[in-house]
Every structure is written in C-alpha cells, then in structure tokens.
Amino acid sequence: MRIGFIGLGIMGKPMARNLLKAGHELVVYDVLKANVDLLAAGGALAGASSRDVAERCDLIITMVPDGPQVIEVVLGENGVLEGARPGATVIDMSSIDPQVSQRVCAACREKGVHMIDAPVSGGEPKAIDGTLSIMVGGDGKVFERFKDVLLQMGASAVWCGEIGAGNTTKLANQIIVALNIAALSEALLLATRAGVDPERVFHAIKGGLAGSTVMNAKAPMLLDRNFKPGFKIDLHIKDLNNALSAGHAVGAPLPLTAQVMEMMQTLHHDGCGQDDHSALAKYYEKICGAKIVD
C-alpha cells in the first residue's frame, strides 16, 4: 500500500520506518528537510508538502506535536485537504485536544475525506520496536479497514468510540503516567531521607500492588539519573494542558493533574523541559534540597 506520512520527529521517524519494513511504499514530509532526507535514504519517497503527500496517497498519517500543527498540516495552506481526493483517509496519530480532532474531522467530512484519531502510548522505545499502544476514535468501519496498518506500528490498537475518543483515552493515559511518576519520586525521596536504599525499595515493592509498567520503566532511569528523553517533560506539559482543557470543557475536575502540571512547569522554567519526564524527581529534590540518589 502507498501511505503518506507527515511528521518525522522522535516518534514519527521510527513509526514510518516500521511501515517501510512492513513493505509499504511511503511518501513522507516534515518541516525539517533533514528528516525527509533520512527516510528517503531508507527507501521512502520525499514529499514536497503536506498537499503533495495527499495528492499522491489515499491514506495519509499525521504525527505532529499538537493541535495547532494538526490544523496547519490538514487544513492550512498546502495542507492535506488541498490535495486529498474524496474517499481518502487521514489517520491523525498526534496527541491533541479531542475538540481539535472533532473540528478537523468535520472539515475532512465536508471534503469527502475520512478521518480517525489514533494517538499512541509507549514513547520512543516502543515506537522503535513497533509495540506502541494505539487508541482510536472515529468511524469503526474505517478503523477496521486500517487496523492491520496500525498494528504494524503497535502491539495493540483499540477502538474507543467516536472521533476524539482516541485522544480522550490518550489524555487519561497521560494523567495516570504523570501521577505515577510523581508518586514514585515522592516515595523514593521518602526512602532516601529515612536512610533506606531507594533501589532496594523499588525491588521490594515492584511485584506488589504498587508495581506498574510506569514504575518498571522509570525507576531505573531515576535511580541512574538517566534523564535522556524517551518522552520529554515539555511534551508531557502539552498533554496535561490538553487534559485540563478537555476537563474544563466537559466539567471533569482534575486537581491532581493541575498539581503535577505546576511541578512540570517549574522544571521547564529551570531548564529541564527537554529531559525525560522521569526528571519530575528533580522537582522533589529542588524543594527538599537533597537528591534521591547522589
């Protein structure tokens, strides 16, 4: 199948590569030409713009940072809808405000173009090995038609409801991940201040009720003080902003989300926005004046 892929950042690049490995012909575009050249060197066809990609493909996948970029890429000048033929399908895999997904889908529908939202969870490591969790909103028949394509980038793809439901599910995921990292940081700082080895605490509790995928992934990074980003604090701030916006829109109180957002904002202003979100531990170290691990 010929697939258009727009957005070749930390996540999009390995996702596109996995589609190439699966045997698809890809037409790719990114605002950074170096990213396009990198994929072209691996066998993809270079697109000149989002419009050009859409003119050459009936399935277009977008993977860009946030809602404004989705609007620009799909609805803007030289965007997807200027080139897409009636009957084409857009799969937006960006993590954005569900209200933006609904707006973009309505514009697509007016042009006779299908759209589903399909954000992902798992960060760069799972994007690389093709084991992302994919959450989908939109027409269930469109999802079923392209489910196999999604599963060439992920280990699971679950239909969650109408358009925007995928991003609502992703925001729920991001709330849980952020609060888990905050709780982990808080707990390990307690251990350190009480004179207990935080690594021993981690190994003692990871098999019990407190254990989680988040803990297993982030505790070793935190204990090694390895904050190389799999998922950046600045990106998590973006997601929590969208969660708070969505919560306000539907009347869902999110007080814990708001608190962790302020912690992350503090780290952003301290110059840690490009660190992995496990660096949330630095917030606790800042207010305590001591490190969890020296």
Give the separation between CA 24 and CA 34, rounded to whole angstroms: 21
Give the CA distances from residue 148 to residues 18, 53, 143, 145, 289, in Å, rounded to whole numbers and listed in that order.
Answer: 13, 21, 9, 8, 50
Rounded CA separation 252/126 (Å): 31
Buried b (16+ CB within 10 A) or exposed e, 229-254: bbbbbbbbbbbbbbbbebbeeeeeeb
Provide the strand spans (E) within the chain: 2-6, 25-29, 45-46, 59-62, 89-92, 114-117, 120-121, 132-137, 154-161
Q: Which two tokens stand for residue 205?
A: 């509790």
| Active-site annotation holds for 21 | no
Residue tagged active-site, from 170, 232, 238, 282: 170
What's the rounded Cα separation, in Å, for the pair 271 and 107? Answer: 38
Q: How far apart are the first and last CA of the chain?
A: 52
DSSP string, 88-99: -EEEE-S---HH
91 forms beta bridges with: 61, 116
Asked if 88 contacts 59 with a C-beta cutoff of 8 angstroms, the reply is yes
User: Active-site residues: which are they?
Assistant: 170
